[in-house]
Structure 1
Amino acid sequence: MNILVVNAGSSSLKYEVFTVEDNVYTSVAEGLVERIGESVGAITMKLNGNKDKQERTFADHKEALAAVLDHLGEHGLVDDLAVVGHRMVHGGEEYTKPTQVTEEILKDLDKLSPLAPLHNPPCITGVRAAMELRGDVPHVIVFDTAYHATLAEDAYRYAVPKEWYTNHGVRRYGFHGTSHKYVANTAVRELGLDPNNHKVITAHLGNGASITAIKDGKSIETSMGLTPLEGLVMGTRSGNIDPAIPFYIMRQTGMSAQEAEDALNRQSGLKGVCGDNDARAVEERADSGDADAKLALDLFAHRVRGYIGEYSAHLGGLDAIVFTGGIGENSATMRAAILEPLAHMGIEIDPARNDVREFNEAGTRVISTGAVKVIVVLTQEQEQIARESVELLGL
């Protein structure tokens, strides 16, 4: 049985194919189509250990996906396709579980686009293209927000006029849910924790970053809110700030609301502090004595550390901390900066283990020596989407 997972962006399309046998999911092909709709695009395909990249022009997502399916078809990977799983960023309050796609569902999701105007529309476009090309198989959408549907009302509501919530859906939704769910489940299994009785904090740290408190397998608090802008310092996003700052800057500079929103989403975070959003480059600059780069990293670590303290209070204790994402998986420096001041909480890491880059077969590495376990987990969001698609259909 083969499962195709598709993740469509505004001008890109990421895909991965899994085979399933005895509940073991094996990735057999993956790739990326870039610059869809531009004069020159590119398609990268990885198969059987070989990587091939070609420059091609793709008018739209349907043409891009057709090229992917043609390539996969040449290797017999879509002949017995069982399901196509799709990532969707926002499901609102209505969609809190994986959902089999119909045209009525897509029309309903169109109405949610104002909640995620940059993310949902291209996802919907990708789903429609896939259904046109492979309407012979079921399609399932897995929502990034769904994992956080277990938040209690005092965790997801904001202290704003009630009409903002009832009429406009203003509340905390949370994101990166597919990643948080995958790495939390993996950590619980690998650490031998009780699946029904545990207290875990997952930190998905990358260009986009979020942190989640998980109690007994359920998300009870998470850092991103109505949009992915809230919470941690990120590559180009500000994270938490005084809500009055945009209004102040707009009055002082004449900046429009759109310009202010763009600045907070694309010109802030690490980039705003030091001019660079690539954490690897920022670390190199900090090591060379660049004060702005060091400050950017200190701000990042400070914010993550604060959330760990807050979330351990919400959980009433802590069994484990899980790091994932580009920074969480690869930066020993950032993990140490975040955790070294937290020894009083029973959080201690082994510097030698922290510096090791290899992972075991499960894609994990324990780096702690203290009472609270610290584990690094390679996130596999595509695999999680495949699993949830298969489970929904009972395949």
Structure 2
Amino acid sequence: MPNQNVLVINCGSASLRFSVFANGCGEPLICGNAENLEKEKAYIKWKVTLQNEPVIVHKEQMAGADHKKILNTIFALLNSYGFLEKLSLIGHKVTHGGEHFSKPVVLNDKIIKTLNQISNLAPLHNPANITGIKLARKNLPNVMQVAVFDTGFHQSMPAHAYLYGLPVKYHTEYGVRRYGFHGISHQYASEKTVEFLGLQNEHGIISVHLDHGSSVCAINNGRSVDTSMGFTPLEGLVMGTRCGDIDASIVDYLNLKIGMPVADITRLLNKGCGLLGLSGISDDIRVLVDHAHKGNADAQLAIEIFCYRVAKYITSYIASLERLDAIVFTGKIGESENLIRDKIISRLAVLGIKVNTQENTKRGDKIRLLSSDSQSSRCQLVLVPVAEELQIAKQCKMLVS
């Protein structure tokens, strides 16, 4: 299908991102996002790149807009620029595929029924993903649509990595296991790193996706072999508002000690902890870096804990690999916050890794090497700008071609 457009839709619980790629590759012809859905401050913004014309950037307030109104606006927008005329595929990001889906699938009624059945595994994300799928199928019924799963890349993990220390029946009967997330991002970052460094078929990479939600992934010869997020995105690193790893007994302790219902504790662990809870200031790392520079001790400690946890996971994942060729940083924090990268890398000195200060501090949206020449380590540090929508488009094209 040469010269055909691929639309990618990433429907979140209160947000929506979209991009259109010519033939499923390259820079997007148009991309944008909507935030604060169903709230007074809801808005949509987009950027259009047309041949031989200046880039168009626009933002529109849409108070109270829901997924349906936003998607209708997007379809009308795409039509006005003529992008729908050559639309051949729509790719949807789906957060959780359970054990049913390890690869992208063409959507049909049977697949959507299965997605509904496993929505309890990701109650905040999958229902929103399904809403986007249903609206897109209704508006564009003649366009093939594909689901790409954020858990899919991690389905290659061995049992010793994905099983918890629970009776096996909880896995076989109820699906309790490590699933992992950010698989689309980790796969893209690792593939670009292999290409950038010219690595051979045998290679080991640790991918570090740092954003409001963060995770680390050990990748052996292109396959995920372990990752920090677990049954839900709560496990693993300290994140924007998620606590990450804690002793499970804390839930029972808080319930008994202060009478906090389990549902409220779960909400706290997901929405009121992490950087926000530790600092008491913000869940935005940029805000905390600013406060830390001004001497705020709470912000400084929150950042130290965040970076320490990342470095601890990186070093622990060496045990998952046969060799370590590269550590790659991606995600909005991973690619934009040089102070955070520097603090994490400084804890990896035992690996003989040294950062190239000039490369680490400069800005840019291109893949680049962050490590300095070192005879004591074969491991390179790489920065790969996040490109989930591009990876989804690429996987959609591979599926149908």
- Same-fold call, TM > 0.5? yes
Structure 1 unpaired stretches of 5+ = none
Asked if residue 17 in structure 1 is aligned to residue 20 in structure 2, the reply is: yes
RMSD between aligned residues: 1.4
Q: 1:24 to 1:37 in 2, by over 3 A?
A: closer
Q: Scaled by the length of structure 2, what TM-score is found?
A: 0.94
Cα deviation, 1:237-257, whole Å, max 9, x if unaligned, reads: 000011111110111111011
> C-alpha separation between the residues in 2 aligned to 1:107 and 1:184?
32
Q: Is the Cα contact below 8 Å between 2:202 and 2:221 reproduced in 1? A: yes
Asked if residue 158 in structure 1 is aligned to residue 159 in structure 2, the reply is: no
Alignment match, 2:263? 258
- Choose 60-69 or 282-291, whichever is displaced more: 60-69
Report the 3-state secondary structure (helix = DSSP H, G, I; strand = E; otherwise coil) of the residue aligned with 1:168.
coil
Q: 1:312 to 1:62 in 2, by over 3 A?
A: same
> C-alpha separation between the residues in 2 aligned to 1:345 and 1:338?
12
| Equivalent residue for 1:203, pick from 202, 208, 211 | 208
User: How far apart are residue 339 of structure 1 and its match?
Assistant: 1.2
Which amino acid is 2:342 matched to? A
Alignment match, 1:67? 73
Alignment match, 2:222? 217
> C-alpha separation between the residues in 1 aligned to 2:40 and 2:311?
45
Cα deviation, 1:211-242, whole Å, max 9, x if unaligned, reads: 00001000001000000000001011000011
> C-alpha separation between the residues in 2 aligned to 1:272 and 1:288?
19
Any residues of structure 2 matched to 1:68-87 within 5 Å, and which? 68-87=74-93
Q: 1:341 to 1:26 in 2, by over 3 A?
A: closer
Q: Is the Cα contact below 8 Å between 1:58 and 1:64 reproduced in 2? A: no
Alignment match, 2:389? 382
> C-alpha separation between the residues in 2 aligned to 1:281 and 1:37?
26
| Equivalent residue for 2:371, pick from 357, 361, 368 | 368
The number of equivalent residue pairs is: 388
Alignment match, 1:28? 29
> C-alpha separation between the residues in 2 aligned to 1:40 and 1:290?
30
User: How far apart are residue 39 of structure 1 and its match?
Assistant: 5.5
Report the 3-state secondary structure (helix = DSSP H, G, I; strand = E; otherwise coil) of the residue aligned with 2:179.
coil
Q: Is the Cα contact below 8 Å between 1:16 and 1:27 reproduced in 2? A: yes
| Equivalent residue for 2:274, pick from 247, 263, 269 | 269
Q: Is the Cα contact below 8 Å between 1:187 and 1:322 reproduced in 2? A: yes
> C-alpha separation between the residues in 2 aligned to 1:236 and 1:34?
18
> C-alpha separation between the residues in 2 aligned to 1:61 and 1:252?
41
Any residues of structure 2 matched to 1:299-310 within 5 Å, and which? 299-310=305-316
Report the 3-state secondary structure (helix = DSSP H, G, I; strand = E; otherwise coil) of the residue aligned with 2:218.
strand
Q: Scaled by the length of structure 1, what TM-score is found?
A: 0.95
User: How far apart are residue 36 of structure 1 and its match?
Assistant: 3.5
> C-alpha separation between the residues in 1 aligned to 2:319 and 2:173?
32
Asked if residue 341 in structure 1 is aligned to residue 344 in structure 2, the reply is: no
Alignment match, 1:102? 108
> C-alpha separation between the residues in 1 aligned to 2:240 and 2:194?
29
> C-alpha separation between the residues in 2 aligned to 1:243 and 1:40?
37
User: How far apart are residue 191 of structure 1 and its match?
Assistant: 0.9
Alignment match, 2:252? 247
Q: Is the Cα contact below 8 Å between 1:62 and 1:130 reproduced in 2? A: no
User: How far apart are residue 168 of structure 1 and its match?
Assistant: 1.0
Alignment match, 2:363? 357
> C-alpha separation between the residues in 2 aligned to 1:35 and 1:289?
32
Asked if residue 190 in structure 1 is aligned to residue 196 in structure 2, the reply is: yes
Moved over 6 A (4+): none
